[in-house]
Structure 1
Amino acid sequence: MMRSAGLIGAATLCSRILGFCRDIVIARMFGVYVYAQAFVVAFRIPNLFRDIVGEGAVNSAFVPVFSRYALRRDKAEFWELANVLLNVLLVVLAAIVLAGVVFSPFIIRVFAPGFTADPVKFQTTVLLNRLVFPYLLLISLAAYTMAMLNSLGHFKAPAFAPCLLNISIILCALFFGEGITGLASGILIGGVLQLAVQIPAVYAHGFRVKGFLTKFSHPGAAEVVRLLVPRLFGTCIYQLNNFVDSVFGSLAFAVGEGGVAVLYFAYRLVQFPVGIFGNAVAQASLPLMSAQAAGDDGTGDLKATLVTSLRQVFFLMVPASAFFIALSGRLIEGIFSGGRFDAYASSATADALSCYSIGLCAYAGSKVLNSCFFAMHDTASPVKVSAAALMINVILNALLMFPLKIKGLALASSVSGIVSFLMLIRILDKKTGGLDLGVIAVSLAKLLAAGAAAGYACFFISSRLPGYCRGDGFFFHAALLAVYFVCCCAVYIAVCKMLRCPEPGELLGWMKKKL
């Protein structure tokens, strides 16, 4: 299990790094203007449906059912179920893709209403959306294939398949140059590759297409639907929360030009540490909390694990937040500046990044809290909180976008994220009979003090060091950013030690144990 987890972790890190490189290429080629905005909206829409009927269905429905059939060691029954689900998926996905292509103008009006004010931007987004919507079929089938392989204990091909999408987009964008041809080609080719790389492994395990589009019923298929339906509502709420910023960001008259792309690039940066460290802590704590929730010892061990997990995720997120806030301008300039990513794009994205970073601890902390809810078999509470956070985000966006422009939208997301975290922890406090909130609060206060010191030190060094160093270009700025980050971490850990924070020692002990 540890070997599989390590493989998946390495593949996830590789995919995120390649995705980061993809964003750099798109930013420098298209800035935050027409093509970049069209890409963000058009690529996000099929991903919404993918999360619902594709990858989102894998963990909640496909894998549990497939795994049970695999344990029976009845391969004929397993592959019969696989063929029935394939037929159902093909029909459902084909209908969604056809509707997406036909109704693209309406879809863009809903998800990016501000684009209608610019006919060129609107038509470009509609065209790109129509070109890339078939990606939904490809990526959903790839996710379905991944479910089969994971159920059979095969992880390698599915784990590294997402890397191919980012490589494809990068190469096609560079090859075709400016215009939507490269972006559309890269997305579609990437989808084909993600599916194709898994097909040999599936066939090696014994899969053969039988009863193609003729058989649609099976007891296992009915169970998949039963497991999937409750997941749909929660997924829709989560995805709509992501779309809120795009809807308001498309209103150029209120937030300025390029709002959709500005928010995308800033949010992608913020999600980088959350995706690596926040997800890691949440995923690592889920099995332990699940076992503790199912045990006979009450909730004592569960509460202790939750408090420790929160302290560790705060310890990892605070320096990232301090670094992003203190050096938002230099970070964006060093990574994205160049080509069509001009001074306006850098300034606007830096503003959004600093405001998004305020909620970084809450974003990661909510992942840990959600894991605790799942361990206690409570999927309703996170959905209700997400719905409330969605309403808060909408209201704050409407209130803040005029006085604060693009910063208002990012700040609204941070505030709604913090409120969501507080609501989740309040519910858990009641469900578990009382969490040790004092320990969490004291720990967070100390870590924030250390983060403030690290952020100030980082800002001070960054205002002095460039005067002694001469150079330009991506690698020069990347080297400077690396120096700033090392200084930030050094000051942060030193102050944590001064304040007698236990988190550094706990994390070091855990790493030694794993190694």
Structure 2
Amino acid sequence: MPAEPAKLARNSLVVGLATVLSRLLGFARDMLIARMLGAGPVADAFLVAFRLPNLMRRVLGEGGLNAPFVPVYLDLRTMEGAQAARRFVGEAFAWLALGVGAATGLGLLLAPWLVLAIAGGFHDAPQTLAMATAYTRIALPFLAFTTLASLLAAVLNSEGRFLVAALAPSLLNLVLIAALIVALTTGMPSVQGAALIAAAVSLGGALHLLMIIVALWYGNMPLVRPRLSWSPAMTRLLRLGGPALLAASTSQLVLLVSTQIASVQPGAVSWLYYADRVFQLPLGFVAVAMGVVLLPAIAVCETSGDAAGRRDMINRALVLGLALAIPAAVALGWLAEPIISVLFERGRFTEIDRIRTAAAMQAFAAGLPFAVIAKVFAQVYFARQTPRLPLYAGLAALGVAILAGRLSVLPMPATNAAAAATLAFVTQACVLGSFLARDGLWRPRLPLLRPILSVLAASVLMVAALAALMPWLEEALSTRSALLWRVAALLTLCCAGGLVYAAAGRMLGAFRLRELSRLGKPI
């Protein structure tokens, strides 16, 4: 059964931890990419080619397809029974397979234009454009595999089975890590190594689909029987699907705009990518978990007409999300250089790469709480099967990102691109909040202000502790030290900061574990 409101914290933790595992494997992957490719033309070419598959993996594999699918599936199962819901899944799978197959074939033909749409600056770098085009064609089949896997994962999420669907995207990182190890240990040239990694992307997508199919089989859920028929439920899915997917993918589309902004300077795409990878760890833990778990829970409230339950659940989700997002944003900003240095500064990744990447990550960090707020707010409209307003908010955010990129004056395209993304997240959260207030679905309340102010105060105390500890660990963090010592020093900083924040937050009343486990009750 779908998650009840009282289970929101537990299920969010399950999805969040699975997502963090994928992100940690992604860090290991990116450390190897940085070592093999650095931040030069080959790295820029591969990372642009990887941007589109990675975008689809994040949007679809981490719950984006839930937005249009879950409410329709749950309504159909409730009103017409499980057999009708299974027929609907078969229809959706067949038509989606047909559509993504055609789109993948078209993408193979139009690969050079896809690359220029993501990184227009490559127009003046024909060699980089040629490499990016080749890598894009090798990696594109991933899109078909992961889209179909995401539809079946949405079935698992609809039934309250979140773990396997959240773990499956990690397979891509495991396959990529294996390919990178092969490339590094055999001394493969960077151009050929990037081609091998691109091939591993497509293999990872195939394994992702296979894992979800196995989960359905062993979960005593009948396997999908594709059928090219068209029911009224498919009409609803089509009507909701386009706007919902566009709205759910806003944060990733903003990153595409950011890549376009950064592509005017050699190396800037790589700096932006590595900064985004670190930014995605807390964003994945908080925002993705909130979105995947909150949607079915709010959908149940909407189906039962429980408006008070919906409002209280939003309040609890905001308190939980911001209690995690605010200190994470502060820590990312304060520890940007040591984090980037320990993770990436080796091999072809140089000191200037570290400085530029850390600056971009600091710009990203400021937008983290707003990205979480926007994710929570959007679930209300997705659950109500009215994705039009989240789409409008997403388009406004994209417009702000494009405008900010054009008006940027700093001579650092990667930092400008990350700052544009942050402004977009702020815009999206504010627009969605104003829509909710206008429609009477949710309003900010004074009781919410107290825990948020306590979170801010606890975060300040955390920074004070980090500032006091930093001089003692500065030598261990430097590139002169062994990697093991550097990792240990960074972990010491992170753990110490986390402990100080947890103690201060508990003392100041920022959060109470008993309250967080009872998210269905009023604040």
The interval holding the TM-score normalised by the smaller chain is 0.7 to 0.9
How far apart, in 2, do the equivalents of 1:401 and 1:379 lie? Answer: 35
Whether 1:31 and 2:38 are equivalent positions in the alignment is: yes
Comparing 343-352 with 77-86, greater Cα deviation is found at: 77-86
Q: How many residues align?
A: 502
SS at match of 2:508: coil
Counterparts in 2 of 1:86 and 1:438: CA distance versus 1, 3 Å: closer
SS at match of 1:197: helix
Given that 1:303 and 1:432 are in contact with CA atoms closer than 8 Å, whether structure 2 keeps it comes out as no
Comparing 454-463 with 77-86, greater Cα deviation is found at: 77-86
Which residue identity is paired with 2:167?
F
Identical pairs, percent: 26
Counterparts in 2 of 1:494 and 1:135: CA distance versus 1, 3 Å: closer
Whether 1:176 and 2:183 are equivalent positions in the alignment is: yes
User: Which residue in the other structure is 1:230 paired with?
Assistant: 243
Given that 2:262 and 2:413 are in contact with CA atoms closer than 8 Å, whether structure 1 keeps it comes out as no
Given that 1:54 and 1:141 are in contact with CA atoms closer than 8 Å, whether structure 2 keeps it comes out as no
Counterparts in 2 of 1:292 and 1:466: CA distance versus 1, 3 Å: same
Counterparts in 2 of 1:513 and 1:476: CA distance versus 1, 3 Å: farther
Which residue identity is paired with 2:489?
L
User: Which residue in the other structure is 2:124 paired with?
Assistant: 117
Question: What does 1:381-400 align with in structure 2 at a 5 Å threshold?
Answer: 381-400=389-408
User: Which residue in the other structure is 1:191 paired with?
Assistant: 205
Q: Which runs of 5+ in 1 are unaligned?
A: none
User: Which residue in the other structure is 1:261 paired with?
Assistant: 270
Counterparts in 2 of 1:195 and 1:462: CA distance versus 1, 3 Å: same
Given that 2:364 and 2:421 are in contact with CA atoms closer than 8 Å, whether structure 1 keeps it comes out as yes
Q: CA RMSD in A?
A: 3.7
Counterparts in 2 of 1:112 and 1:79: CA distance versus 1, 3 Å: same
Given candidates 21, 30, 35, the residue that maps to 2:28 is 21
Which residue identity is paired with 2:182?
F
User: Which residue in the other structure is 2:369 paired with?
Assistant: 361
Which deviations, in whole Å up to 9, do the C-alpha atoms of 1:201-233 show, x marking residues without a partner? 55675548677xxx4545554443234233244
How far apart, in 2, do the equivalents of 1:74 and 1:447 lie? Answer: 44
Comparing 476-485 with 289-298, greater Cα deviation is found at: 289-298
Given candidates 442, 457, 481, the residue that maps to 2:490 is 481
Counterparts in 2 of 1:295 and 1:246: CA distance versus 1, 3 Å: same
Whether 1:451 and 2:459 are equivalent positions in the alignment is: yes
Question: What does 1:56-455 align with in structure 2 at a 5 Å threshold?
Answer: 58-63=65-70, 84-147=91-154, 158-177=165-184, 178=190, 179-200=193-214, 207=223, 215-218=228-231, 220-235=233-248, 237-252=250-265, 257-281=266-290, 299=308, 302-374=310-382, 378-432=386-440, 435-441=443-449, 443-455=451-463
How far apart, in 1, do the equivalents of 2:98 and 2:245 lie? Answer: 18
SS at match of 2:408: helix
Quote the offset at 1:462 in angstroms.
1.1
SS at match of 1:251: coil
Comparing 455-464 with 202-211, greater Cα deviation is found at: 202-211
Quote the offset at 1:128 in angstroms.
0.4
Question: What does 1:463-478 align with in structure 2 at a 5 Å threshold?
Answer: 463-467=471-475, 472-478=481-487
Counterparts in 2 of 1:421 and 1:219: CA distance versus 1, 3 Å: closer
How far apart, in 1, do the equivalents of 2:328 and 2:254 lie? Answer: 23
How far apart, in 2, do the equivalents of 1:407 and 1:14 lie? Answer: 27
How far apart, in 2, do the equivalents of 1:433 and 1:225 lie? Answer: 25
How far apart, in 1, do the equivalents of 2:37 and 2:131 lie? Answer: 13
Which residue identity is paired with 2:194?
I
Comparing 49-58 with 28-37, greater Cα deviation is found at: 49-58
Counterparts in 2 of 1:87 and 1:298: CA distance versus 1, 3 Å: closer
How far apart, in 2, do the equivalents of 1:229 and 1:100 lie? Answer: 19
Given that 1:97 and 1:136 are in contact with CA atoms closer than 8 Å, whether structure 2 keeps it comes out as yes
How far apart, in 1, do the equivalents of 2:32 and 2:210 lie? Answer: 25
How far apart, in 1, do the equivalents of 2:60 and 2:453 lie? Answer: 41
Given that 1:334 and 1:477 are in contact with CA atoms closer than 8 Å, whether structure 2 keeps it comes out as yes
Which deviations, in whole Å up to 9, do the C-alpha atoms of 1:277-323 show, x marking residues without a partner? 33444555556655666777865x65454344323322222221221
Counterparts in 2 of 1:56 and 1:323: CA distance versus 1, 3 Å: closer
Given that 1:174 and 1:182 are in contact with CA atoms closer than 8 Å, whether structure 2 keeps it comes out as no
Comparing 448-457 with 2-11, greater Cα deviation is found at: 2-11
Which residue identity is paired with 1:91?
L
How far apart, in 2, do the equivalents of 1:305 and 1:82 lie? Answer: 29
Which residue identity is paired with 1:463?
P
Which deviations, in whole Å up to 9, do the C-alpha atoms of 1:256-294 show, x marking residues without a partner? x31112112112212211211334445555566556667
Quote the offset at 1:52 in angstroms.
7.7
Structure with more contact order per residue of length (Cα contacts < 8 Å, sep ≥ 6): 2
SS at match of 2:402: helix
Given that 1:454 and 1:488 are in contact with CA atoms closer than 8 Å, whether structure 2 keeps it comes out as yes
SS at match of 2:348: coil
Given that 1:37 and 1:258 are in contact with CA atoms closer than 8 Å, whether structure 2 keeps it comes out as yes
Q: Which runs of 5+ in 2 are unaligned?
A: 185-189
Quote the offset at 1:102 in angstroms.
0.9
Quote the offset at 1:189 in angstroms.
1.5
How far apart, in 2, do the equivalents of 1:243 and 1:25 lie? Answer: 23
Given that 1:54 and 1:139 are in contact with CA atoms closer than 8 Å, whether structure 2 keeps it comes out as yes
Given that 1:142 and 1:194 are in contact with CA atoms closer than 8 Å, whether structure 2 keeps it comes out as yes
Quote the offset at 1:164 in angstroms.
1.5
TM-score, normalized by length of structure 1?
0.84
